[in-house]
Amino acid sequence: LYAEGAKPGEVPSDDIHATGLERLQILGEKEGVEVFDLKPLDSSRIGTLADPIKVYSLAPERIIGCTGSPAESHELHWMNLTTEKVRRCPECGS
């Protein structure tokens, strides 16, 4: 994920100047690979402990929003998910 950098006197482009996960995403786009899954989660059902709606993350925590099941059935509720604590939407129970 390291680049050579811009030559002296040149302004670097995004693909040369970017670092870390941003660079990974830019390189993936150049190759036609979607590095991060940006599609919305399944909102056709309510997640349960036996059949949860899984939220994948590279970090041990992630902020998610619930709009209900079916989608848009209630106002957006934000929640902080962690690997240690199971969270449920206070409005729909998903």
Q: Mark the binding-site residues for Zn(2+), compressed into ranges.
A: 66, 74, 89, 92
Strands 61-66 and 77-82: antiparallel
Map residue 27 onto helix, strand or coil.
helix
Tell me how far apart the alpha carbons of residues 51 and 23 are, in angstroms, rounded to a whole number. Answer: 35
> Tokens 């482009």 appear where?
13
How far apart are the C-alpha atoms of 12 and 4, rounded to whole Å? 10
**Which residues fall in the annotated binding site?**
66, 74, 89, 92
CB distance 92 to 66 below 8 Å: yes
